[in-house]
Structure 1
Amino acid sequence: MNKLRTHKKEAPKKKRGNVIASSFAWVISGTILTKKNVVKQLPFLIMLMVFSLIYIGNIYSTEKLIRMVNKLERENKELYYKHIVMKSKLTREFNRQSEVAKKLTGTGVKEAVVPPQKIYSVN
């Protein structure tokens, strides 16, 4: 039994070009996803992408918190300075008993003429 064998002509081997360019072409064209090794690693790659998204979200939320903390620190400083200024104004304004008596004349509060007495407990 003779069978005719047909020999396939081998295509001339192409010279190996730039490996990076061919790898990039595989990724862009999508042929890399048809390989068995990549299909096996697909759950791992998905997990890496999810972790990357979580990491990016964490960075954004941290930056937002840092901006808010800085804003609150500036506001706290400003309120502290206002407190010091107001305290010094009030100290200058009410440093003598006569000044306090002048301020309270319109309210009906009178200055005590009799000194206070101590109250003793019988127990």
Structure 2
Amino acid sequence: MSWFKKIVDAVRGSEDFSDIKSSTVRDILNGNILTKKFFQKQYGLIIMIAVLLFLYVDNRYQCENQQAREIELKKKIQDVKYESLTISAELMEISRQSNVMKKVNESGLPLVESTTPPIVIEDSIPTK
């Protein structure tokens, strides 16, 4: 903290605060305090602080918008996952052998279930 104290002492030693000390609340409210010598020297700093304040507020606004968008997209992803699970379950239900046979019989197709198991054909060429 000693470096901070040195800076404060340097500012106090080089500036005349008598005109600021004589200011009243009325001077602050109507803006007359900005016409004092100390504040006229610090206009650049005041403008920089105001710009940084606006940038900070804008940055926070953008972050809140991004967070809201992220929450919205997470909800959409969750909905799509649930829809995908539902469709997958329906597909599994429809593609069961008993349901396929039921649909074939209902549509009147002359198809019969095979009694011989499928034959596995093995590749005789070795893979590299």
Q: Normalization by structure 1: what TM-score?
A: 0.64
Structure 1 residues 75 and 86: CA distance shift in structure 2, 3 A: same
Change over 3 Å in CA distance of 1:122–1:28 after alignment to 2 = closer
1:75 aligns with 2:76: yes
CA 1:122–1:29: 2 relative to 1, 3 Å:
closer
Residue 47 of structure 1 pairs with residue 48 of structure 2: yes
Larger helix percent: 2
Q: Which has the higher contact order (CA 8 A, sep 6+)?
A: 2
Equivalent residue, structure 1, for 2:125: 121
Distance of 2:58 and 2:68 partners within structure 1: 16
Evaluate the alpha carbon distance shift between residue 90 and residue 40 of structure 1 in structure 2; reply closer, same or farther with a 3 A threshold: same
Determine the C-alpha separation between the residues in 1 that align with 2:33 and 2:56: 26
TM-score (norm 2): 0.61
RMSD of Structure 2 on Structure 1 (CA): 3.1
- Quick one: percent identity of the two aligned structures? 20
Q: Which runs of 4+ in 1 moved over 3 A?
A: 111-114
- Counterpart mapping for 1:1-123 below 5 A: 22-23=24-25, 25-96=26-97, 99=100, 102=104, 115-121=119-125
Larger radius of gyration: 1
2:53 & 2:40 partners in 1: Cα distance? 20
User: Counterpart of 1:82 in 2: which secondary structure?
Assistant: helix
Q: Report how many residues are paired.
A: 96
